[in-house]
Amino acid sequence: MKIKNTKIIKNDKVIISFYEKREYQRAYIIARDLTDGYNESTLYTRKIRGIEMAWKFIEQIFNSYELKEDLDFNDIYKILEEKFNLDVHTYCAID
Using CA atoms, how far apart are residues 33 and 11, in angstroms rounded to an integer? 10
Of 9-13, 15-19, 61-65, 74-78, give the lowest mean pLDDT range: 61-65
- Give residue 12's identity as a one-letter amino acid code: D
- Give residue 51's identity as a one-letter amino acid code: I
pTM of the model: 0.88
- The reported pLDDT for the residue numbered 68 is 80
For the stretch 40-58, pLDDT in tens is 999 999 999 999 999 999 9
Query: Percentage helix, strand, coil, to 5, in the chain?
Result: 30, 30, 40
User: What is the average pLDDT across 76-90?
Assistant: 96
Using CA atoms, how far apart are residues 57 and 37, in angstroms rounded to an integer? 27
**Backbone φ and ψ of 19, nearest 5°:** -100, 110
- The reported pLDDT for the residue numbered 1 is 45
Domain residue ranges in the chain: 6-92
How many Cβ atoms from other residues are within 10 Å of residue 53's Cβ? Answer: 11
- The reported pLDDT for the residue numbered 11 is 92
Using CA atoms, how far apart are residues 17 and 29, in angstroms rounded to an integer? 6
